[in-house]
Amino acid sequence: MTVVINFSQYGEISFSLNLSEAFSKPFTRYPEKDLAEIEEKLKRFKERFSTMLVCGMGGSSLGAKTAYSFLREHTKGEHRLLFLDNIDPLFVKKTLEELNWEDTVFCFISKSGTTLETVVFLNLILEELKKRNLKVDERVIFVGDRGKAFEDLANSLGCEFFEIPSDVDGRFSVLTPSQLVPIHFADIDIKELWEGALELLRDTTEDNPAVKLAKFKMHHYLNKGRNIAVMFAYGNYIYPFAFWYSQLWAESLGKNSKGQTPIKALGTVDQHSLVQLFREGPDDKVYQFIKVVNNPEFPKVSNQPVILDYIGGKSVSQIFDALYEGTKTALIETGRPVVTLELDGYTAFNLGYLFMLYMVATVVAAQILDVNPFGQPGVELGKRIAKEKLKGG
């Protein structure tokens, strides 16, 4: 196994579950036809452009951003991704100003095709392409639900269109064309991603790590009052996974006055900012440590360091591992519940496994809480108020 998962304080945890339902959700279907279509249709864009600007919000960008961070330094691909995933005016202005428009393909992702921020990006970019006399049909891709606004616009403009399965919610769509289109553009093996995902799905019993993870976290939430779930990601390249996880866990489970709040932490940075609270603050958290265990042996500290003799001759990897082990063990010895997920490398297989692990765990946790993991009714009021303000000028 290339992803090893261990639990502290597991013991006997019993919940009534319908696992056949959990393992048959639409996001678990292997999209063989979609993978072939993505590879075929993207050929002309990959031959012509080196950059893709991904325009999408939440589940329409977080998965690709995670994969790009996790695998970019290890695939050494020729193509890169940029992201417009926040409508911060300065961020939008700088992104568009610094873009090489001649060498960029634009990918707009939205299931409904009416996501406010994404539609704003779309209008800005279409206008700029027109000003620059650049052909829209040659450099714009739409990804969305069949029969919705993006498909209609793609047809009217003569642009490429990829379908997101209508029965897969946005935050569960990471292994559909929603995120596989930009991921494949970035030279990441999307078939290997799915190989990892399918590995997680081989065992559909309560011994499956996703089921055990959900039961562990829900036991500590319901029976121990631990209503916060920390993801402590050890490594800059794996840290974006914590953002993807946070949306999945919060938006799926935060309903009917229930839910376990996700918190992101970056190791080793947040050892200096959050661990004091984690060890000596309220015991209201479950901790998930995630780390790639095989790291480079170089660079190394000089055998005669100017300060701290005990680091002499040690590699940065050895020091990193010691800090990881120290923090994890300190929390366990303090009596905090800890899950460790250790990966043997930065591979598409491992990332696909992680994506599926947490999606299935989320569905199982929703069963335990008796909430619908799909949909996000709680965000609609804010959207409606924003719409009314814009209509009112």
Q: Is residue 362 part of a domain?
A: yes
CATH code at position 88: 3.40.50.10490
- The tokens for 208 are 């499956």
H or E element, residue 381: helix 380-391
Q: Which member of 251, 255, 291, 328 is catalytic?
A: 251
pLDDT score of 87 more than 90? yes
What does the pLDDT average to over 179-184?
A: 98
Same-domain pairing of 180 and 212: no
Q: Which member of 93, 130, 224, 383 is catalytic?
A: 383
Q: Which member of 33, 272, 389, 391 is catalytic?
A: 272
Q: Is residue 391 part of a domain?
A: no
Q: What is the mean pLDDT of the chain?
A: 95
104-141, pLDDT tens digit by residue? 999 999 999 999 999 999 999 999 999 999 999 999 99
- Higher model confidence: residue 376 or residue 305? 305
pLDDT score of 385 more than 90? no
Residue 383 annotated to the active site: yes
pLDDT score of 1 more than 60? no
What does the pLDDT average to over 72-98?
A: 93
Max distance between CA atoms of the chain, in angstroms, equals 68
**What was the pLDDT predicted at 393?**
65
53-73, pLDDT tens digit by residue? 999 999 999 999 999 999 987
Residue 79 annotated to the active site: no
Number of domains, the chain: 2
**Among 198-212, 228-242, 293-307, 362-376, where is mean pLDDT lowest?**
293-307
| Distances from the Cα of 65 to the Cα of 103, 126, 142, 150, 203, angstroms | 20, 23, 18, 22, 29
**What was the pLDDT predicted at 242?**
98
Same-domain pairing of 319 and 233: yes
State the DSSP code for 164. P
Read off the pLDDT band of 174 (50, 70, 90). very high
What does the pLDDT average to over 230-239?
A: 97
What residues make up the domain containing 275? 3-21+204-369
Residue 74 annotated to the active site: no
- The tokens for 136 are 């829209």
Same-domain pairing of 125 and 143: yes
